Every structure is written in C-alpha cells, then in structure tokens.
Amino acid sequence: MTRSRNYVDDSEQWATYQRRRDEELGVVNRESLEQLHTAVNQAAAAGDPMAGQMKTGTADALLMNLARHFTSRTAELKQ
C-alpha cells in the first residue's frame, strides 16, 4: 500500500518538517534574535544603563546576560 501524498513537492514537505521540528525544539527565530540584539546595542549607545549591562558581541551572549540579570533580579525581589 502506498502512502498518500499530502504535499505538492518534496520542498513543501521539507519546509513543513522543519517548521514542526523548530516548534517542538523551541528553536528561536534568528531574525527576531538579531532584532533584539540590535535594539539592545542601540539602546546602550543611547545611554540606557540596563542595555549597557546587556550589550554583548553575540546574540547568544545577550540571552545568557538576560537570563543572569533576571535570575539576580528575582533573588533581589524575594529578599
């Protein structure tokens, strides 16, 4: 018995697979991450103190800095 074909071509099937995989793994859209990185760098250049603390060379480091900041902030607020 053959499998029914729900896709027009293999590229459509591949794109669907990638979207589903990204959703399941919680993959971050790189474009959105770069927009955040750019916004933080611009805010830091404009003098925003928190953005200055968050400013980094890479988007991955920015995420780690944000996690560290909010972890520390949570501990401060619980005291």
Domain edges within the chain: 10-78
Is residue 1's pLDDT more than 80?
Answer: no
Whether residue 70 is predicted with pLDDT greater than 60 in this model: the reply is: yes
Nearest one of 3, 52, 63 to 28, comparing CA atoms = 63
CB contact set of 44 (below 8 Å; sequence gap of 6+): 51, 52, 54, 55
Structure tokens at 29: 């859209």
Q: What would the two tokens of residue 58 be?
A: 């890479």
Q: What is the structure's pLDDT at 72?
A: 93
Alpha-carbon distance values, 71 to 11, 74, 76, 79 (Å): 42, 5, 9, 13
Band (pLDDT 50/70/90 cuts) for residue 4 is low
Q: What is the pTM of this model?
A: 0.60
Q: What are phi and psi of 71, to 5 degrees?
A: -65, -45
